Amino acid sequence: MKITDLKCAIIGTSPVVRIVTDEGIDGYGQGGYTKPFLKPFVEYFRDQLIGADPTDVERTMLRIRQRGSFKPYGTALSIIENALWDIAGKAAGVPVYKLLGGKVRDRVATYNGNLRSPIAENSPEAYADAMRTMKALPHNFRLVKQGVAFHSQMKYEPGFYFGTPQPKVSHGILDRGLLTHQGMSHVVECVTAMKEVLGDDVMLALDCGPGMMPTDVVRLSEELEHLNITWLEDTVTGDYTPYVLADVLRDVTRKSRIPIHTGEQIYLRQHFRELIETRAVDIIGPDPADVGGMAEMKWIAEYADLHGILIAPHGTGNGLLGLACQVQVGATMPANFIAFEYPTGNPDWWYDIVDGLPDPIVVDGEVEVMERPGMGIELIPEAAKKYLREEDQGFFD
- Tell me the one-letter amino acid at 356: G
Domain ranges in the chain with CATH number 3.30.390.10: 3-94+380-392
Q: Tell me which residues of the chain have a pLDDT lower than 50.
A: none
Alpha carbons 57 and 256: distance in angstroms, whole number: 40
Neighbouring C-beta atoms of residue 40, cutoff 10 Å? 10
Q: Are 179 and 187 in contact (CB under 8 A)?
A: yes
Alpha carbons 76 and 38: distance in angstroms, whole number: 7
Alpha carbons 311 and 304: distance in angstroms, whole number: 8
For position 372, what pLDDT does the model report? 98
Alpha carbons 349 and 75: distance in angstroms, whole number: 23
Alpha carbons 18 and 20: distance in angstroms, whole number: 6
**Nearest-5° Cα angle at 362, 352 to 227:** 135
Alpha carbons 205 and 190: distance in angstroms, whole number: 13
For position 169, what pLDDT does the model report? 72
**Given strand 310-311, what is the order of strands in its sheet?**
143-147, 203-207, 232-233, 260-262, 283-284, 310-311
Q: Are 147 and 155 in contact (CB under 8 A)?
A: no
72 upstream amide cis, omega within 30 of 0: yes
Instruction: Write the class of the CATH domain 99-376.
Output: alpha beta
Fold of 3-94+380-392: Enolase-like; domain 1 (3.30.390)
Domain ranges in the chain with CATH number 3.20.20.120: 99-376
For position 44, what pLDDT does the model report? 98
Alpha carbons 216 and 71: distance in angstroms, whole number: 25
- Tell me the one-letter amino acid at 372: R
The reply to whether the predicted model has a pTM over 0.75 is yes
| Pairing label, strands 260-262, 283-284 | parallel
pLDDT, one tens digit per residue, over 336-351 is: 999 999 999 999 999 9
Ramachandran assignment for 337, one of left (phi > 0), alpha (psi -120 to 50 degrees), beta (any other): beta
Which residues, other chains included, contact 31 with Cβ-Cβ below 8 Å and sequence gap of 6+? 14, 15, 16, 17, 38, 75, 76, 78, 79, 289, 318, 322
Alpha carbons 58 and 296: distance in angstroms, whole number: 10
CB under 8 Å, gap of 24 or more: what pairs does 359-362 form?
A: 360/138, 360/139, 361/323, 362/110, 362/139, 362/140, 362/141
For position 117, what pLDDT does the model report? 85
